[in-house]
Amino acid sequence: MELLDSLPFPPFGYEEKNGRLHLSVPDDMLRPLVSHLVRKEEGELSNLYYVPNENKVMALVLVPRHGIVVLESELEGEGYPSLTAEVPAANWYEREMMEMSGITPLDHPDPRPLHLHEWPRHVHPLSSAFDKTTKVPFTGEAHHFRKVEGDGVLEIPVGPVHAGVIEPGHFRFSTAGEPILNLEVRLGYVHRGVERSLEGCALNRALRLVERISGDNGVAHALAFCQAVEMSNPVPERAQLLRCIFAEMERIYNHLGDIGGMATDVAFAVPAAEASVLRERMLRLNAKLTGHRLLWGSVAIGGAARDLDEERKDLLEGAMVELGLAFEPLVDSINGSPSFLDRAETTGALSLPMAKDLRATGPVARASGWDRDTRRDFPYGAYERLGFLVPVRREGDVLARLNVKVEEVRESISMVKQCLDHLHAGELRSEVPAPEGFGLGLVEAPRGELVHCVHFKDGKIIRYKVRDPSFCNWPTMERAVLGNIVPDFPLINKSYNLSYAGNDL
């Protein structure tokens, strides 16, 4: 109610559901209201999308001082005033809406397609009029990259096919000599129609599908889906602790891979090999405990699908102790290398104002000085009862992102141990009634805040919107590389380690 009193507009229709504030907003008032929440209340635009069955634009804004705000704006025409000019973080969301749903954010500064390559502009795969069996003819229309012109300016295209084992993405550099003047990231090459495939899908099958959206974040996506389906219905305490264990194990092996990747990209071979060994040990441990190296199939609607008996608990506890002991020499060797520090310090720096404007998330945001973590700020599951620190750095460079991930590994090891200490006998699952209305999953994945917004009718999914943390962080990398040299781009890219598949739904 305090938030409602602060709004500079007459009261709108509102209600509280599952601890969230839902506001009904006229479409011409959506921009000033979201702008007010972001600029005056320090809110963060966390999702923005269209629901065709209800002809509504939905905006999810997280306001740490007040909670979660869901704005619903029923459209009177074919569009609404674009948010991007006042809320830069809305840019990609609105471009996505234009091409996927056919909704026009009026006066949007950059209406180019975001995901769909060479599609007819009048064909919108998430609109209610689109037939999934339609064979769409490609237009052959070339994408228009931003141009930087002037004496000595050189354009360097990289990808989408890369030399190593890497997902497809195109990077268009503009340089003057070695320094980068502009970078445009072009993605969408692994777009799979995930959101449309989930409409009408049986819930257990949908769980298996979302687990595969971004394979190395399977637990995070499965957990966000389950939160949306469960709609605040209670989950057994033992299951909450198991979910937390699996989520933190996922964070550990992801961060170990990132640390090793950064060492690899500066040709620091020994620490790179040591990090790879530790990551491989984690993957093998995952398989022993759950039957899957990436922990798939561990989370279930209403609880957990895998349990830890006493033997497995002892195995996991011993493995965490061994990992902690082996991890510190690796960190010391990296931080004790002048050549590594020379490559990492001041490289790929993302400023705090830019991180906030574009709404960076996860280790990228925390490395730039933005103290945000969903597990603490909007706690879920077992995290409320755990003690942990949120590491924050201010430099915003490669070294800061490395150090944030190093400290997060330490905190994750501690959290796994705490969960094991509290893991008492109990049920693994509870019965969950058929969901109805709006469901929200909000999780801190290894790469940052992950959001699943799901609309149910008669227990079936009628609209599913996934916002992977990489969707927020890709635009920030375009800024972080500016002024750096092209040979440093692989290192900057690895320090981010974003998901192409998570972005290309």
Q: What is the pLDDT of residues 49-78, one digit of tens each?
A: 999 999 999 999 999 888 999 999 999 988
Percent of the chain with pLDDT over 90: 88
Q: What is the pLDDT of residues 439-453, one digit of tens each?
A: 999 999 999 999 999
Instruction: Decide if pLDDT at 11 tops 70.
Output: no
317 and 447 together in one domain = yes
End-to-end Cα distance, the chain: 36
- Please give the Cα distance from 115 to 505 (Å, whole number): 9
Name the residue among 54, 50, 47, 48 with its Cα closest to residue 126: 50
Q: Is residue 282 part of a domain?
A: yes
Those residues whose C-beta lies under 8 Å from the C-beta of residue 259, and which sit 6 or more positions away, are 271, 275, 330, 334, 402, 405, 406, 409
Q: What angle do CA 167, 168, 169 make, to 5 degrees?
A: 120
Q: Is residue 487 part of a domain?
A: no
Those residues whose C-beta lies under 8 Å from the C-beta of residue 443, and which sit 6 or more positions away, are 220, 223, 224, 227, 247, 374, 380, 449, 450
- Please give the Cα distance from 179 to 463 (Å, whole number): 44
Contact at 8 Å (CB) between 88 and 357? Answer: yes
* Dihedral angle sign, alpha carbons of residues 483, 484, 486, 489: negative
Q: Is residue 309 part of a domain?
A: yes
Q: What is the 3-state secondary structure (H, E, C) of 205-219?
A: HHHHHHCCCCHHHHH
Instruction: Decide if pLDDT at 268 tops 90.
Output: yes
| Domain boundary pick from 85, 106, 127 | 106
Q: What is the mean pLDDT of residues 322-336?
A: 97
- Cβ-in-10-Å burial (0-12, 13-18, 19+) of 447 comes to buried
**pLDDT at site 1:** 60
Those residues whose C-beta lies under 8 Å from the C-beta of residue 342, and which sit 6 or more positions away, are none
CATH number at residue 327: 1.10.645.10
Q: Is residue 227 part of a domain?
A: yes
Q: What is the pLDDT of residues 392-418, one digit of tens each?
A: 999 999 999 999 999 999 999 999 999
Contact at 8 Å (CB) between 400 and 482? Answer: no
**pLDDT at site 264:** 95
Instruction: Decide if pLDDT at 456 tops 70.
Output: yes
Instruction: Tell me which DSSP letter residue 138 carries.
Output: P
Q: What is the pLDDT of residues 346-386, one digit of tens each?
A: 999 999 999 999 999 999 999 999 999 999 999 999 999 99
Q: Is residue 479 part of a domain?
A: no
* Host domain of residue 434: 216-469
Min mean pLDDT across 9-18, 84-93, 162-171, 331-340 is at 9-18
Q: What is the pLDDT of residues 88-121, one digit of tens each?
A: 999 999 999 999 999 999 999 999 999 999 999 8
Name the residue among 222, 228, 211, 220 with its Cα closest to residue 440: 228
Beta-strand relationship, 67-74 and 20-24: parallel
Q: What is the mean pLDDT of residues 180-188?
A: 96
101 and 223 together in one domain = no
**pLDDT at site 270:** 96
CATH number at residue 70: 3.30.460.80
| Domain boundary pick from 106, 124, 139 | 106
Q: What is the mean pLDDT of residues 254-277?
A: 96
Min mean pLDDT across 67-81, 238-252, 322-336 is at 67-81
Mean pLDDT over the full length of the chain: 95
Name the residue among 274, 317, 492, 500 with its Cα closest to residue 400: 492
Q: How confident is the model at residue 202 (pLDDT cuts 50, 70, 90)?
A: very high
**pLDDT at site 266:** 94
Instruction: Tell me which DSSP letter residue 128 carries.
Output: T
Those residues whose C-beta lies under 8 Å from the C-beta of residue 388, and which sit 6 or more positions away, are 375, 376, 411, 414, 415
Q: Is residue 481 part of a domain?
A: no
Min mean pLDDT across 98-102, 133-137, 199-203, 480-484 is at 133-137
- Give me the DSSP letters along 30-72: HHHHHHHHHHTS--EEEEEEEETTTTEEEEEEEETTTEEEEEE
- pTM value surpassing 0.85: yes
Place of tokens 């449309």: 196
Q: What is the pLDDT of residues 22-47, one digit of tens each?
A: 999 999 999 999 999 999 999 999 99
204-210: long-range pairs with CB below 8 Å, 24+:
204/301, 206/461, 206/464, 207/299, 207/300, 207/301, 210/452, 210/466
- Please give the Cα distance from 467 to 178 (Å, whole number): 35
